[in-house]
Amino acid sequence: MLCNSGFAAPYTLLFDNYMALSEDKKELLRILGNVSSMGISVAVAIAIGVAMGLQLDKWFNTAPWFFFIFLFFGIVAGFRNVYRVSSKEIHRDEADHDK
């Protein structure tokens, strides 16, 4: 697909390159995507917990209690997300080996 300038649209180039990859490389890219999303989910969950804790401490003048409580909740939520994604991958991998 060409744009008005005569260059192929970037998404078309990416899609064509992805379709030309072998199955092993596609699997590797899928795993790398899942691993990177796990790291991002941990960081975002902790950041949300910290932000909520700081705001509650500010409103109720209880520093640092809500900060630590919601930091803990953020850490738990982040690692819960990692556990869910990794267990889903393990079950998918086991299903692929059973076939």
Q: Where are the domains of the chain?
A: 23-98
The four Cα atoms 73, 88, 36, 8 give a dihedral, to 10 degrees, of: -140
pLDDT in tens, 4-63: 555 555 656 566 666 667 777 778 888 888 888 888 999 999 999 999 999 999 999 998
DSSP state of 21: S
Looking at residue 61, what is its pLDDT? 96
pLDDT in tens, 59-92: 999 989 999 999 999 999 999 999 998 888 888 8
Per-residue tokens: 8: 């192929």
* Confidence (pTM): 0.69
